[in-house]
Structure 1
Amino acid sequence: MRTVRPVEPGELRMPGIRAAVGLGLAIGVLLVGVLALASWAIAGYPTLRRDPEVTAGTIFELLKLVFGVVAGVGGVVALVMAYRKQRVAEAADQRDALASGRDGIRLFNERFAGASEQLGSDKAAVRLSGVYAMAGLADDWPTGRQTCIDVLCAYVRMPYATALDDDHPDGADDRVAWVKQQHWARGERQVRQTVIRVIGAHLREGAPVSWDGHDFDFTEAVFDGGELHHLTLTGGRLTMRGARFVTGRTSFVGTLFAGADVDFTGAVFSGGKVVLDDAVFALGRIAFMTAEFVGGTVSFARAEFTGADVNFNAAKFGGRCSVGFHGAEFRSGVVHFERATFAAPLDLGVATVTGTEFRGLPARPES
């Protein structure tokens, strides 16, 4: 059984030039013959009368007929050649486009490999360059943007020891190792903060290239500060499942959560300050289920909850963590506190509650 090879993109399968010209001539002659027979049929099949003498007029008429036939056949051949030329040009353009696309993909892959290698360097300055190289690639490569974002988020998820030991050892060798460890830790913090800052810059209104609508996975990441303020999240997912906020100031001030799936399930707030002041929770799902508020400060001051489903189910509110809703506005939607545990009653302070259902908390009169 003969195997038919599939036609590759940009590959042109056409008969040779001689075959094409011969086919054009045959089509032209056939067309002339069909037209001649059709004309004779329309005329009622008249009999041909042979003149006893061949006059100049008869010769001229025959020549006109011959020239007409030649012109018709030549026209058909010209059409065949023009069609063939067009097909060749289109195939060449397609091959050029495919070659350009392959070159572009190869270039993106090379840039991706280079940025990834920089991120794996043992030098903080090189890793910083890798962060900006990966972000620049994400801007230039729409089809690979999510992959680049995933790499940046994965960097933040890498194991990270935030606590720096201020008591250096006495031994000379141990002191050198301690200095190197301190230097590495401070450099690593700068790299991680840069990743967070770069991601935040691409999620603010007016960003030259917006990453809104993509997924950002910080599962079990350790945060010792970060600027994620005034973001606009209208799609995609922001995953903070199991993330730990241990020190520093992590700011979500003024961020608009509108339609994105935001997941803080199992997050641990054990130190530092997490600021969600003036944030807007509109539509979508915001999950703090099983989160642990055991230390530091978490502030929702002047936050606005409108139509969102905010879920604190089974969350633990410890006595050493200050969770505040001073000046917050609950306009609509549902806030869940079922099975949540409180070391002290949760105080909504001067929050404004209108049309919002609280489940798991004592009923609060509308103001």
Structure 2
Amino acid sequence: MWIVAGLAVVVVCVAGVVAYWLVRRLTGPTETLGVPDGIRLSIAILTVFGAVLAGVYAYRKQRISEGDAHRADATQFAERYSTAAGQLGHEGPAVRLAGVYAMARLADDWVEQRQVCVDVLCAYLRMPYEWNPESDQYKKGEREVRQTIIQVIRDHLQESREESSWSTCALDFTRATFDGGDFSGCRFRGRVSFADADFVGDLISFDRAGFLDGAVTFHGARFGAGAVTFNEAQFQGSRVSFDEARFSGSTLSFCRALFGPGDITFHHASLSGGTFTLDEARFSGATVGFDYAQCLNATITFDRAQLNDGSLAFRRARFTGGTLSFDHAHFTGGAVALDDTEVTDATVTFYAARFDSGNLTFDYGQFTNSTVTFHHGRFNGGTVSLGHASFSGGMVSFVRAQVNGGRVALDDAQFSDASVRWGRLRPAEGGTS
């Protein structure tokens, strides 16, 4: 310490002499600046120089202190992580519940590793789970632990939690089993995967959820006999995929949902029994596709839906039994396509639907022993095309339909043993009206 102090005194003295010499050199002859003035000016320069050095030293000391504090925090976070992870792997359900809350609190505090903490909770749901209480593999208390994880994730995906929100985090539920659950009001802005997941509970709710600016996949998911609801949900700027999903006697509801710009697809999906409801849904710039879907005795309804823009496609879908309903729907733009669709022993109804613009096409569709009805429909604009469609058996009805400016095209449509009821509609020569 004494050596350092002595060196400091020598350095200060040398710096003072150098400063005084520089002052004398820069200020000209001695008569313009007296010796006392030169000394005072030199001292002032040394004071400024010392202040700068002191500031640099203080800043450096603060950085070292902050680094030590950061390392201490990281060590503490790592210890909390190990403790929470250990609790999640405990045999006792009460301890696992404590681990869920501990991991969630750590995710809120440890921003740099928030995604890792969220991944651990999602990984827990991906672990094998037996939901049937009569099975030998059933574990008491496990359902409560999983429901708590879902609740914690839901609470962190709300708009009211800006600082601790997990909305932009990636959520991987691939092959997870959901024995019920509530995701209502969540905001999904990142990548979310429910691929190959099993939905086996009585009710899983996504009501009022927002799928915004991200990608959510239910590819290959399996929906059992319960209900999955997306009522009043918003699909805007995102891509939501139900491709190759399987619906067996389940109820899937999108009542009053809003489909904005973005894609929602059910390509190659399989619907066996059950009900698929999009009543009062609104479509504006959205692309909704059921291409190649297989529907067996399923009920799909778009009653009172509003299609303003975008497209709704059932190309090459197959309907065997069941009902596809657009009753009281309002078409003001966009396109609905049932091109190349195969409909057997089923009903397609547009009862009291209103067409102001847009296109509805059945081109090259094959309808066998099925009913296609436009009872009380109003065609004020747009085009309804049955071009090259084939109707064998069954019925096609326009009873009480009103054509005020729209166009119904029947170019090369084929009717074999099918009952056709035109009502007030009279097709002109060439197959158009």
Provide the TM-score with structure 1 as the length reference.
0.73
User: Which of 11, 19, 24 pairs up with 1:36?
Assistant: 24
Check whether the contact 1:334–1:356 (CA below 8 A) recurs between aligned residues: yes
User: Which of 117, 120, 142 pairs up with 2:86?
Assistant: 117
Correspondence 1:211 to 2:211: no
Aligned-partner Cα distance in 2 for 1:118–1:210: 24
Check whether the contact 2:24–2:38 (CA below 8 A) recurs between aligned residues: no
Shift of 1:160: 3.5
Check whether the contact 1:246–1:269 (CA below 8 A) recurs between aligned residues: yes
Equivalent runs, 1:111-150 vs 2, <5 Å: 111-150=80-119
What's the CA shift string for 1:326-352, capped at 9, x where partnerless? 222222112232332222463333332
Q: Which residue does the alignment assign to 1:192?
A: 146
Matched letter for residue 348 of structure 1 = F
Q: Which residue does the alignment assign to 1:276?
A: 254
Q: Which residue does the alignment assign to 1:331?
A: 308
Q: Which residue does the alignment assign to 1:224?
A: 200
Matched letter for residue 218 of structure 1 = F
CA 1:257–1:210: 2 relative to 1, 3 Å? farther
Aligned-partner Cα distance in 2 for 1:37–1:141: 59
Q: Which has the higher contact order (CA 8 A, sep 6+)?
A: 1
Across the two proteins, how many residue pairs are aligned to each other?
Answer: 317
Q: Which residue does the alignment assign to 2:352?
A: none
Matched letter for residue 244 of structure 1 = R
Q: Which residue does the alignment assign to 2:366?
A: none
Q: Which residue does the alignment assign to 1:71?
A: 40
Shift of 1:196: 3.0
Shift of 1:38: 4.3
Q: In percent, how many aligned pairs have the same letter?
A: 33
Structure 1, unpaired ranges of 5+? 1-15, 45-63, 166-177
User: Which of 64, 76, 85 pairs up with 1:107?
Assistant: 76
Shift of 1:161: 3.9
Correspondence 1:202 to 2:156: yes
| Equivalent position SS for 2:141 | helix
Larger Rg: 1
Quick check: which one's helix share is greater? 1
Q: Which residue does the alignment assign to 1:252?
A: 230
Shift of 1:19: 5.6
Aligned-partner Cα distance in 2 for 1:268–1:276: 17
Question: CA RMSD, aligned part only?
Answer: 3.2
Check whether the contact 1:154–1:217 (CA below 8 A) recurs between aligned residues: no
Structure 2, unpaired ranges of 5+? 168-188, 342-359, 362-378, 383-405, 407-433
| Equivalent position SS for 1:355 | strand
CA 1:269–1:193: 2 relative to 1, 3 Å? farther
Q: Which residue does the alignment assign to 1:243?
A: 221
Q: Which residue does the alignment assign to 2:393?
A: none
Aligned-partner Cα distance in 2 for 1:298–1:191: 30
